[in-house]
């Protein structure tokens, strides 16, 4: 099978300017991600996992180096171009869910579609379908505060899928969940990867998650030190 690269990081540096010293979070990191694959990114804290994920997800721009997303260099785009990429190509799933507390489950899922200008009918229909598919068809109007951790993460996953992105980026998606709920969330993410061919990148501490991935990238000191295919 011919593998097509969807993400390429070439010699990416990210240096945070602190008051006195500069802190290099990424130090010439290079990494390729194939379309449709499930990649786990592991490494000790401070190794640059989240920084790398943010750079891939157009949440942050690298200090140096190039990042290609779907063949397009996103390392030097303006803030509004980055917002477009985040809205259309990327779906984020965060450790602490990051739902908007004042909006109901369905409104949270609708929100990304508002920014992309979907019509009211279209986005309501889509949000309902997405919440149904993650098993929350009966919780549409609940506020995040009225949902359990696992349910909130399901809403977040539904929201990540709202604009039908090619890539799903998950930063410790099970970190705030008990192991049973965590497994369910992982299963859900994996099914998106397998059934809908979404490229899935998961940053994790959890070996159990890493073992499920197609490939594992090991990070240390802001660099990829090893990449292993699933045995």
Partner 1 sequence: MINDYFLLAFKSIRHRQLRSWLTIIGIVIGVAAIVALISLSLGLQASIEEQFEAFGADRLLIAAQGFQGPGTQSEGITDNDVAVLERMSEFKTISYGSARPGEVEFKKEVKFPSVFGGENAKELLESTTDLADGRYIEKGDNTDVLIGSRVANGLFDNEIRIRNNIRISGKEFRVVGILKPVGNQQDDNTLYLTLDAYREIFGETNQVDFISAQVKPGVDVLSLQEKVKREFERQRGDKNIEVVTPTQILEQIGNILGIVQIVLVGIAAISLIVGGIGITNSMYTTVLERTREIGIMKSIGATNFDVLSIFLIESGIMGLVGGFFGVVLGTLISLGIGKFSTEAGFKLLVGVNPGLMLFGLFFAFLVGMISGALPARQAAKLKPVDALRHE
Phi, psi of 17 (to 5 degrees): -80, 115
Our finding on whether 63 is near partner 1 (CB under 8 A) is: no
For partner 1, the closer CB: 12 or 216:
12
Please identify, using beta-carbon distances, which residue of 96 and 179 lies nearer to partner 1: 96
- Cα separations (Å) of 125 from 49, 64, 132, 159, 196? 36, 42, 11, 13, 19
Closest to partner 1 by CB, 100 or 129: 100
Residue 115 makes contact with partner 1 by CB under 8 A: yes
Helices (H), the chain: 49-56, 79-88, 105-115, 120-133, 149-160, 179-195, 207-212
Q: Which residues contact 40 (CB under 8 A, 6 or more apart)?
A: 201, 202, 203, 204, 209, 210, 212, 213, 215, 216, 217
Interface residue with partner 1, options 84, 124, 133, 142 (CB under 8 A):
84
**CB of 46 or CB of 214, closer to partner 1:** 46
Kindly state the DSSP code that residue 9 receives in the 8-state scheme. E
Instruction: From 29-37, 155-163, 180-188, 215-223, give the range in contact with partner 1 by CB under 8 A.
Output: 155-163
| Number of amino acids touching partner 1 (CB under 8 A) | 29
Residues that bind partner 1 (CB under 8 A): 54, 57, 59-60, 79-80, 83-84, 86-88, 92, 94, 98-103, 107, 111-112, 114-117, 159, 162-163
């Amino acid at each position: 099978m011919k593998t097509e690269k969807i993400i390429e990081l070439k010699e990416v540096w990210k240096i945070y300017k602190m008051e006195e010293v500069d802190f290099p979070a990424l130090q010439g990191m290079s990494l390729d991600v194939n379309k449709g694959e499930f990649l786990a990114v592991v490494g000790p804290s401070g190794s640059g996992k989240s920084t790398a994920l943010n750079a891939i997800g157009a949440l942050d721009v690298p200090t140096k180096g190039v990042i290609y997303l779907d063949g397009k260099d996103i390392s030097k785009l303006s803030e509004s171009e980055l917002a477009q990429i985040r809205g259309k190509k990327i779906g984020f799933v965060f450790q602490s869910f990051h739902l908007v507390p004042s909006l109901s489950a369905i409104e949270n899922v609708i929100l990304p579609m508002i920014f992309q200008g979907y019509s009211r009918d279209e986005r309501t229909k889509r949000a309902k379908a997405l919440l149904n598919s993650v098993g929350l068809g009966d919780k549409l109007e609940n506020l995040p505060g009225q949902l359990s951790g696992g349910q909130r993460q399901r809403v977040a996953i539904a929201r990540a899928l709202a604009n039908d992105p090619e890539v799903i980026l998950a930063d410790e998606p099970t970190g705030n969940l008990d192991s049973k709920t965590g497994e369910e969330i992982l299963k859900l993410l994996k099914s998106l990867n397998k059934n809908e061919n979404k490229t899935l990148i998961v940053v994790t501490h959890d070996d159990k998650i890493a073992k499920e991935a197609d490939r594992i990238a090991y990070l240390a000191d802001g660099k990829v030190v090893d990449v292993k295919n699933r045995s």
